[in-house]
Amino acid sequence: MKNQVADSSEIKLSCRNVWKIYGEQPEQFFSAASGKVDNPLAHADTIRSAGHIVANADVNFDVHAGEIFVIMGLSGSGKSTIVRCLSRLVEPTTGEILLDGENLLSKSVAELIEIRRHKMGMVFQSFGLMPHLNVIDNIAFPLKLQGADEKTRYQQARRVIELVGLEGRENNFPNELSGGQQQRVGIARSLAVEPDVWLLDEPFSALDPLIRKQMQDEFLRIQSVLSKSIVFITHDFQEALRLADRMAIMRDGAVVQIGRPIDLILNPVDDYISDFTRDVPWESILRAADIVEPPGASIEGLGRISGDALIDTLLGYLSEHREGVVVEDDDGMVLGVATARGVIAALASGCNTEPAAVWQQ
């Protein structure tokens, strides 16, 4: 069930007290290699007053196995810098980045190359396709760098070509493809190495709105098949709402708030978050699982609904059934009962950010 992935799964990738400072001798501002400081906001101001640029300031988050973790913010908020720090395409000034519990910042260049080749897939706004290679050779290229034999390369390339819906385009060159098709090639190329972690930096922002929505749909379909651990960067809040299991919003290099999209909408921590969420209709994102409460009496004879059901599809039913409706997870386990009273309570006081408790039938 979407937005429940991270509740019980293990942590795949962690960002711990990561700072990225541009300027002369940025390490001078940190006495500990871990990047921990007592007051990060004040420390960032001190660094700026010394004439340095604070691209990332004490960034902390976890990405769970199988989770789509979206990072968003306005231009200059530090979101693209942090995703490049995760792969060390940009070297953090200090902090820790843990992949399966191992600090990537302590890895040698050779070790890092192997990690990128085998454990990380990366997709950026610029498609970065090689114009002299056709579709299948573009996709197979990372496998060639790994040393895979020709038969293995093309078998794997054909598998991901089918996954992204490019059958019949194997022999086309990039200039013969539409923008959406080129982006599919970029996605397929990043998936060919079967990465553990998938990093995507505004991969659809260069596409027109219709193609962008189609690519979002395709992305969700692929994720439903592969269940990758994903960090997805965007400046578009509507895109974040469609894709995210959880999301982080950044400002001035720092993370302002982390949570499920519904948590940020109903419980913004400040006006900056409110500005992002103000125009989002709550009924289009609030789900049955977000408003469940323990059954007050027997649930015998009550209707049943998936926890993923959007509240706007239930309003008519709840207005006519005061006792509510039983809410279940994907395995048929009872999460609780959703009522009209629960909808009002959620809007009045905000949703609980902890995973919903499961009440046995």
Provide the residue-wise pLDDT of the chain in tens; the chain has 361 residues: 454 454 446 899 999 999 999 999 999 999 866 678 889 999 999 999 999 999 999 999 999 999 999 999 998 999 999 999 999 999 999 999 999 999 999 999 999 988 988 899 888 877 788 999 999 999 999 888 888 899 999 999 998 998 888 899 999 999 999 888 888 898 889 888 888 899 999 988 877 888 888 889 888 988 998 899 999 999 888 899 889 999 999 999 999 999 998 888 888 899 999 888 877 777 677 888 888 888 877 788 888 888 888 888 888 888 888 888 889 888 888 888 888 888 887 776 554 444 455 555 4
Name 61's Cβ contacts closer than 8 Å, sequence gap at least 6: 14, 15, 69, 71, 248, 255, 258
User: Which pTM value belongs to this model?
Assistant: 0.82
Residues 6+ apart with CB under 8 A from 106: none
Identify whether the C-beta of residue 30 lies closer than 8 Å to the C-beta of residue 94: yes
Best CA proximity match to 162, nearest among 187, 129, 141: 187
Cα atoms in the 13 Å half-sphere on the side-chain side of 138: 28
- Domains plus CATH for the chain? 5-119+195-277 (3.40.50.300), 285-349 (3.90.1280.20)
Question: In angstroms, rounded to a whole number, what is the distance separating the alpha carbons of residues 101 and 350?
Answer: 34
CB 62 within 8 A of CB 13: yes
For residue 182, give Cα distances in angstroms to 185, 211, 356, 359: 5, 12, 41, 47
- Three-class SS of residue 142? helix
Tokens of 28: 């001078």
Distance between CA atoms of residues 20 and 54, nearest Å: 6
CA distance to 127, 158, 166, per residue, from 219 (Å): 15, 18, 14
Q: What is the pLDDT of residue 95?
A: 94
d(CA 14, CA 247): 14
The pLDDT assigned to 351 comes to 47
The pLDDT value recorded for residue 99 is 95
pLDDT at 332: 84
How far is Cα 279 from Cα 275, in angstroms, rounded to an integer? 8
